[in-house]
A and B are shown apart, each in its own frame.
Chain A
């Protein structure tokens, strides 16, 4: 795992500058660093950003014949905001997750869609319900 931090500063004429740091421990440490810099600069600190990155190798399923530009498109309803839909796309969808409907095309199966909605709800803290999914 690697981490990094960026501090965005603005000057009196409206220009922006950035400080980039590698291997930052966390947001609290980045906060402390930003505050410690105040006596050293005439600029205002405008934004603190922390990034955590994992390089992984998770193999996909099936044989890789699809181009990465082929996308699965899934729509979720946000149950806490009636009428709001959230669109989610992902590359190289596995055909096994879709039912082929004559004259319509591929549509994501409900169990797969429900599982994705549960994942997205856990990821974002939102209350999402699967609506529909297709392949572009």
Chain B
């Protein structure tokens, strides 16, 4: 079951902002219609319109393991080839077998795993071909080791 909501942000002449939140919003176009109409009711400017959709799920099963809490994270660095900028997504409670333990170094993320996660993010963001995100390096949050490729 998904829940939807919307936020319209107003700004007054002094630059102060105020937000209105709505439940059960059909879609962002309806929210835009509302914002346009609200602009005719208020002396403030409408500066931002946000539509949120969320759903409660239960996918997978929390399991005990070496890195069994969400405080343990796989920290990745991925690069956007179109801008050259990097992002740093983090995967909570990563499985142990995603890492290789290097003596006196610690846990480093496997390149194949990093490539796969970068591919998943590319899919979610509609990046294909030469625009796909590129895995640069990854490490476990409990140490400072990094996998260089």
Contact = CB atoms under 8 A, between A and B. Distances in A.
A38 interface: yes
Contacts of B89: 19-21
Contact of B51 (A52, A72, A116): A52
Contacts of A41: 60, 91-95
A46 interface: yes
Interface in A106-121: 112, 115-116, 119-120
Given A16-B70, A92-B10, A56 B117 contact: no
Interface residues of B, number: 77
Given A36-B120, A124-B25, A64 B51 contact: no
Contacts of B46: 56-58, 60
Contact of A54 (B48, B92, B98): B48
Contacts of B62: 10-12, 42-44
Interface in B10-47: 10-14, 16-18, 20, 22-26, 28, 30-47
A54 B28 contact: yes
Contact of B12 (A9, A13, A68): A68
